[in-house]
Amino acid sequence: MPLHFIGKDPSSPNNGSPTVWLDDADGSIVIQGWRIEDAATLAEVTQNGPVPGHETVIRVPHRMAPFLRKACDDGRVSDV
């Protein structure tokens, strides 16, 4: 899985986390963010269905949107 680094949050107090990568093999976006653990947020998330045990819910700040846009643009597949 060759990951292509897109960017780290330059304003994060936690050494540049969250981080965004693009998987060059399949175009998927890999995101490191803050794990959601507070009950109120998780209750809202699970109103649409449970979070499977092999998944987690993360939070990234709005200021990370440019990195997500870049990952989406870089990962475009021509046959989609």
pLDDT higher at 13 or 68: 68
Query: In sequence order, what are the residues at sequence separation of 6 or more whose Cβ sits closer than 8 angstroms to the Cβ of residue 3?
Result: 21, 22, 23, 24, 30
Q: Do residues 58 and 45 touch, judged by C-beta distance below 8 A? A: no
From its phi and psi, is residue 64 left (phi > 0), alpha (psi between -120 and 50) or beta? Answer: alpha
Predicted TM-score (pTM) of this structure: 0.78
For the residues 53-78, what does the mean pLDDT come to?
86
pLDDT for the residue numbered 13: 77
**pLDDT score, position 26:** 87
Segment 8-54, tens digit of pLDDT? 988 887 676 899 999 988 888 999 998 999 999 999 999 999 999 99
